[in-house]
């Protein structure tokens, strides 16, 4: 969490005085922006060498300085470049937010028009992309298809490896943001056994995506306004979330100076996991397992007792300790969508789970409130997206954040190839004593 991101860069707040018991070593470690530098720990002797910090899963380690997204998990605050998420989600377009994330300021009208134009005119993919997508099995997971397709794009645009050339970076970023919806929609159509629909460059970013997903024989596809609005808002909410698992993957892979198509493919792979982008799919599966609203109390009791295999998905969050601010926005959006499409059996279960979790002391005291994944799955389901496509929708939006973070990492003089240390716990030296015959 970057709680101190308003502090001037490199401001020394204080220092931490460390004395080493049994020796006369005393070290002062500078505390800057609320953090000590892990490399300063090398000044402190430990064992045969110097002190290391050990932090599996980065629970208390900042890996970078970032000016992109601010989260205060205790207060439930999320801002992109200083702008509250509630204001952006209500007023901005996804492409305006994508620009903001990358450039740090809102675009002027001229900048925005050029940005939208450039993205719109890079929505097409090479015809060979269609051919290899058709080679996937009919039941391939769309995240697998998307990850492979984005990685493959690196071979279509080899000059993207010139990551130190700002023009090449700009072109690769435009291509990725432009082509992600096309690849995602192609994956969708392949699984459904439907012909691919080419981009319609007369439509907005979101409308075009929905058109490539759903258009049949009509000359121009018109999505239901409530679905266009919901998708635009969900894309904004998912666009960035500071150093989450997939962003960390993009930064780590990108730190080797590979091209951005390959780095974003790594982000998609990370997002695919059920603990990350797959979480809203897991919520829907949990609801289907509950099966009926009358089974909710028994399910809740099982979760509370800790016995059995029932897990409450879509509640609580690693960084938000009071409330996920995105969930509040999505909940209001969900109400809007459900008013139009109606409430079915699964939705009734979800609403009952939500009601109990928000009123039962067990959940309230543990701060297990519904997070963004709880509602997004419900909305996507109302839009008739198949469950395994939810994470793909997340990936389209997060591409904007990944690329802003990737470029920030590249331009950050302090960054080097990501290469953590380890604490070796294996055997000491021993002679080879193999008995195999070759
Ligand atoms: C995200 O938006 O990436 C998720 O909430 C996960 C996270 O931030 O760790």
Residue spans of the domains in the chain: they are: 2-58, 85-414
- Check pocket membership of 243 for ligand 1, CB cut-off 6 A: no
Max mean pLDDT range (10-14, 91-95, 379-383): 91-95
Whether the pLDDT of residue 331 is over 80: the answer is yes
pLDDT of amino acid 310: 79
Residues 434 and 273 sit within 8 Å (Cβ to Cβ): no
Whether the pLDDT of residue 265 is over 90: the answer is yes
Query: Distance between CA atoms of 253 and 265, rounded to whole angstroms?
Result: 10
pLDDT in tens, 273-324: 988 998 888 888 899 999 999 999 999 999 999 887 778 899 988 889 888 9
By alpha-carbon position, which residue is closest to atom 8 of ligand 1? 244
Whether the pLDDT of residue 194 is over 90: the answer is yes
* Nearest by Cα to 357 from 383, 380, 324: 324
- Check pocket membership of 244 for ligand 1, CB cut-off 6 A: yes
pTM reported for the whole predicted model: 0.94
pLDDT of amino acid 11: 58
What is residue 400's three-state secondary structure?
helix
Query: Distance between CA atoms of 433 and 146, rounded to whole angstroms?
Result: 46
pLDDT band of 112, cuts 50, 70, 90: very high
Residues 210 and 221 sit within 8 Å (Cβ to Cβ): yes
Q: Given 3.90.1150.10, 1.20.1270.10, 2.30.30.830, 1.10.580.10, which CATH number is that of 85-414? A: 1.10.580.10
pLDDT of amino acid 4: 40
Average pLDDT over residues 372-388: 91
Whether the pLDDT of residue 2 is over 60: the answer is no
Considering only residues 377 and 146, tell me which one the structure prediction assigns the higher pLDDT: 146
Considering only residues 263 and 20, tell me which one the structure prediction assigns the higher pLDDT: 263
Percent of the chain with pLDDT over 70: 97
- Check pocket membership of 318 for ligand 1, CB cut-off 6 A: yes
What are the tokens at 70? 């601010």
> DSSP state, 19?
E
Residues 409 and 64 sit within 8 Å (Cβ to Cβ): yes
Whether the pLDDT of residue 1 is over 60: the answer is no
Residues 44 and 50 sit within 8 Å (Cβ to Cβ): yes
28 CA → ligand 1 middle, Å:
35
By alpha-carbon position, which residue is closest to atom 7 of ligand 1? 244
pLDDT in tens, 31-70: 999 999 999 999 999 988 999 999 999 999 999 999 999 9
pLDDT of amino acid 12: 65
Whether the pLDDT of residue 10 is over 60: the answer is no
241 CA → ligand 1 middle, Å:
6
- H or E element that contains 258: none
Strand partners, 72: 77
- Check pocket membership of 241 for ligand 1, CB cut-off 6 A: yes
Residues 350 and 335 sit within 8 Å (Cβ to Cβ): no
> What residues are labeled active site?
317, 373
Query: Distance between CA atoms of 232 and 94, rounded to whole angstroms?
Result: 6
Mean pLDDT (the chain) is 93
pLDDT band of 174, cuts 50, 70, 90: very high
Query: Distance between CA atoms of 4 and 363, rounded to whole angstroms?
Result: 30
């Amino acid at each position: 969490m970057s709680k101190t991101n308003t502090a001037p860069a490199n401001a020394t707040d204080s220092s931490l005085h460390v004395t080493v018991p049994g020796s006369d070593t005393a070290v002062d470690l500078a505390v800057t922006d609320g953090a000590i530098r892990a490399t300063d720990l090398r000044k402190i002797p430990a064992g045969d060498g110097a002190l290391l910090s050990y932090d599996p899963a980065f629970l208390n380690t900042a890996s970078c300085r970032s000016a992109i997204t601010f989260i205060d998990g205790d207060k439930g605050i999320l801002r992109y470049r200083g702008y509250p998420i509630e204001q952006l989600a209500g007023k901005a377009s996804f492409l305006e937010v994508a620009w903001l994330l990358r450039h740090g300021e809102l675009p002027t009208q001229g900048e925005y028009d050029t940005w939208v134009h450039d993205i719109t005119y890079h929505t097409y993919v090479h015809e060979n992309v269609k051919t290899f997508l058709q080679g996937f099995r009919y039941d391939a997971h769309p995240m697998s298809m998307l990850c492979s397709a984005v990685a493959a794009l690196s071979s279509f645009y080899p000059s993207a490896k010139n990551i130190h050339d700002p023009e090449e970076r700009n072109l690769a970023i435009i291509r990725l943001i432009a082509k992600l919806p096309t690849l995602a929609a192609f994956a969708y159509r392949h699984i459904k056994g439907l012909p691919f629909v080419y981009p319609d460059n007369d439509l907005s970013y979101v409308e075009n995506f929905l058109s490539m997903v759903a258009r049949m024989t009509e000359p121009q596809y018109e999505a239901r306004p409530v679905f266009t609005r919901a998708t635009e808002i969900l894309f904004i909410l998912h666009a960035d979330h500071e150093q989450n698992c997939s962003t960390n993957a993009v930064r780590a892979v990108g730190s080797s100076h590979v091209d951005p198509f390959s780095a974003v493919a790594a982000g998609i792979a990370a997002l695919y996991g059920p603990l990350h982008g797959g979480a809203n799919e897991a919520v829907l599966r949990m609801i289907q397992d509950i099966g009926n609203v009358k089974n909710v109390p028994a399910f809740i009791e099982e979760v509370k007792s800790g016995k059995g295999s029932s897990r409450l998905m879509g509640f609580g969050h690693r960084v938000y300790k009071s409330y996920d601010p995105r969930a509040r926005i999505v909940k209001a959006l969900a109400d809007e969508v459900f008013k139009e499409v109606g409430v079915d059996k699964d939705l009734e279960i979800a609403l009952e789970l939500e009601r109990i979790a928000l009123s039962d002391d067990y959940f309230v005291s543990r701060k297990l409130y519904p997070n963004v994944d709880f509602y997004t799955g419900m909305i996507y389901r109302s839009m008739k997206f198949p469950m395994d496509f939810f994470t793909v929708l997340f990936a389209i939006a997060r591409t904007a954040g990944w690329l802003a973070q990737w470029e920030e990492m590249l331009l950050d003089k302090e960054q080097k190839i990501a290469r953590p240390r380890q604490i070796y716990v294996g055997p000491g030296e021993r002679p080879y004593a193999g008995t195999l015959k070759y």
